[in-house]
Amino acid sequence: MSFIDNIEKITEAKWYKLMMPKLYGWGAAIVILGALFKIENLPGASYMLMAGLGIEAIIFFFSAFEKPHVEPDWSLVYPELAHMEDPNSNKRPSQQLDDALEKAKIDNELIESLNDGLRSFSESAKQLNETVTAAAGISEYNSQIHEGVKNMNALNALYELQLQASNQQMEATNLFLQNLQSSVEDSKKFQVQVGSLAENLEQLNSVYSNMLNAMNPNK
């Protein structure tokens, strides 16, 4: 195995492919720092430039033995591209594309029909969106109506309680008036009885006075 074969074998190793991007960055960073040190006349600039450029030289040396990148065969995935990359074909890429579309039976009418379908789908989606928005508004309106009914039921219950309280207060007031009227009648009866008692006392006093006069011989 020759020296070149050994180097090519090294360039195909997995560790080489992992390390080379890092070496590129490290070498470039050392070169940039060396140039900065050189511009600012700082010590060690020459050694940094030598180290960085040396690393870059080694990288470029090994890169010369790397195999070229192989472009994948896209025609295996897209068979329509098989004839477009035919080196013996004299057709331009645009003509080859037209031939591929014609072979696939894709014409202007089909493309226009597809555009109409997409446009119709867009309009349908817009109408569906408006319908969903309207449905959301109706749902919110129904929620508000339901909340209003609940509030109305609560007001009715409160009104019923107030009506019961008013009826009870009215009954208590009527009872109080009845008791008050009965008390007035009792007061009138008491006044009559007091008047009768006063008349009896007056008559008794008159009788007692007459008795005293009769018992007094000096008169």
CA distance 39 to 206: 152
With beta carbons less than 8 A apart as the criterion, state whether 38 and 45 touch: yes
18, 13, 22: which is closest to 66 by C-alpha? 13
With beta carbons less than 8 A apart as the criterion, state whether 52 and 33 touch: yes
Is the CA virtual torsion 137, 139, 144, 148 positive or negative? positive
pTM: 0.31
Q: pLDDT tens digits for 131-176?
A: 777 766 676 766 777 777 777 777 677 767 777 776 777 777 777 7
CA distance 22 to 169: 97
Structure tokens at 78: 């897209």
Following CA atoms 42, 47, 50, 52 in sequence, which dihedral angle do they give, to the nearest 10 degrees? -80
The angle, 0 to 180 degrees and rounded to 10, between the axes of the packed helices 14-39 and 45-63 is 150
Q: pLDDT tens digits for 72-127?
A: 777 677 666 665 555 555 555 566 666 666 666 666 777 777 778 888 888 888 88
